[in-house]
């Protein structure tokens, strides 16, 4: 009996030791991912100041950025979990606590298009791998709008990821959230199609609208990395949308109700902001989604 207990003790002790070593390794990996620096020479982009450009920037901001950074650009607490840490989506204005006080034009391009802050470290969660697709004109318009926004005095606590948060980051439990790692920083720029009610322009809106980070790279559906999120369904012609009309799609994005009466969870799917797009832009997106071929990888929902 004694011998067995002794052996059990040794086995248990070794297991605990192994778990602690694994945790220490993952914390080290997570920390080095957060502290890694990327040497990015951002493209020089014209930032016009005319009212049409600023209005264009406001439109894109309100449909694409406001869900995280707030309608008034003052930021939101975005992710705040006592056990894992906090990652605010910062104040973008020149008010107290805002990045507008220090950011240069190049800093905006580096952050939005490449997912890298001025000190070279990667931004977390911020979907730059989608914003990478913005044309120079649209990116210039977004930056023009941000630079002209009313300053908001709203400081946020510094970003912090607990040891447990770093373990989960290193283990990939949040999914791919440090997009600077996968963006092709020096490759040829993606082409930006002409605006129009076309599937080609719809693809541009789907790319820049961040649909793929949640619905999967080929939009056939996937489980988003955000804790507690429902499955993000297949949006291609092999999914539910095959039976929808363009009007159904527009109504779903404006009301959060699908034609089959399902209420889309606004905490995990930014329909309210996507629904701010014009009928033309929503129709273009729908045309693109419908044009996607039925794939053999069936979604689970």
Q: Which residues bind ligand HEC (CB under 6 A)?
A: 64-65, 67-69, 78, 87, 89-90, 92, 99, 108, 111-112, 117, 123-127, 131, 142, 159, 206, 209-211, 213-215, 224, 229-230, 232-233, 235, 240, 252, 258, 262, 264-265, 268-270, 274, 285
Query: What is the closest distance, in whole angstroms, from the C-beta atom of residue 201 to ligand HEC in the complex?
Result: 13
Nearer to ligand HEC, 1 or 293 (CB): 293
Query: What is the closest distance, in whole angstroms, from the C-beta atom of residue 85 to ligand HEC in the complex?
Result: 11
Nearer to ligand HEC, 26 or 232 (CB): 232
Nearer to ligand HEC, 164 or 229 (CB): 229
Nearer to ligand HEC, 228 or 293 (CB): 228
Q: How many CB atoms lie within 10 A of CB 125?
A: 19
Long-range contacts of 166-174, Cβ-Cβ distance < 8 Å, separation of 24 or more? 166/26, 166/27, 166/29, 166/30, 166/31, 166/34, 167/23, 167/26, 167/27, 167/30, 168/30, 168/84, 169/30, 169/33, 169/34, 170/26, 170/27, 170/29, 170/30, 170/33, 171/26, 173/225, 174/225, 174/226
Q: What is the dihedral of CA 194, 196, 198, 203, to 10 degrees?
A: 60
Query: What is the closest distance, in whole angstroms, from the C-beta atom of residue 197 to ligand HEC in the complex?
Result: 15
Nearer to ligand HEC, 4 or 267 (CB): 267
Query: What is the closest distance, in whole angstroms, from the C-beta atom of residue 21 to ligand HEC in the complex?
Result: 28
Q: How many CB atoms lie within 10 A of CB 7?
A: 10
| Angle, vertex CA 245, rays to CA 244 and CA 250, nearest 5 | 100
Query: What is the closest distance, in whole angstroms, from the C-beta atom of residue 284 to ligand HEC in the complex?
Result: 11
Closest CA to 162 of 154, 150, 170: 170
Q: Is the dihedral of CA 154, 157, 159, 164 positive or negative?
A: negative
Nearer to ligand HEC, 95 or 209 (CB): 209
Closest CA to 160 of 59, 81, 249, 69: 81
Query: What is the closest distance, in whole angstroms, from the C-beta atom of residue 282 to ligand HEC in the complex?
Result: 8
């Amino acid at each position: 009996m004694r011998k067995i207990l002794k052996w059990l003790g040794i086995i248990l002790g070794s297991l605990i030791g192994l778990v602690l070593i694994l945790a220490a390794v993952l914390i080290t990996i997570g920390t080095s991912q957060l502290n890694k620096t990327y040497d990015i020479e951002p493209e020089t982009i014209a930032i016009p100041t005319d009212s049409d450009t600023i209005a264009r920037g406001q439109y894109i901001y309100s449909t694409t950025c406001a869900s995280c950074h707030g309608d008034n650009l003052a930021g939101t607490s975005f992710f705040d979990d006592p056990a894992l840490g906090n990652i605010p989506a910062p104040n973008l204005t020149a008010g107290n606590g805002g990045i507008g006080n220090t950011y240069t034009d190049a800093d905006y391009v580096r952050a939005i298009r490449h997912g890298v802050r001025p000190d070279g470290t990667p931004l977390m969660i911020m979907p730059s791998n989608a914003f990478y697709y913005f044309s120079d004109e649209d990116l210039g318009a977004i930056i023009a709008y941000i630079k002209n926004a009313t300053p908001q005095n709203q400081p946020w606590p510094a970003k912090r990821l607990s040891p447990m948060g770093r373990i989960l980051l290193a283990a990939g439990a949040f999914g791919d959230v440090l997009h600077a790692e996968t963006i092709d920083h020096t490759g040829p720029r993606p082409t930006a199609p002409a605006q129009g009610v076309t599937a080609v322009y719809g693809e541009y809106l789907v790319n820049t609208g961040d649909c793929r980070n949640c619905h999967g790279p080929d939009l056939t559906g996937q489980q988003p990395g955000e804790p507690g999120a429902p499955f993000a369904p297949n949006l291609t012609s092999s999914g539910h949308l095959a039976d929808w009309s363009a009007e159904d799609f527009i109504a779903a994005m404006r009301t959060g109700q699908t034609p089959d009466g399902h209420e889309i969870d606004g905490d995990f799917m930014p329909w309210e902001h996507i629904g701010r797009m014009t009928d033309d832009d929503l129709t273009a997106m729908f045309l693109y989604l419908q044009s996607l071929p039925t794939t053999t990888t069936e979604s689970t929902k």
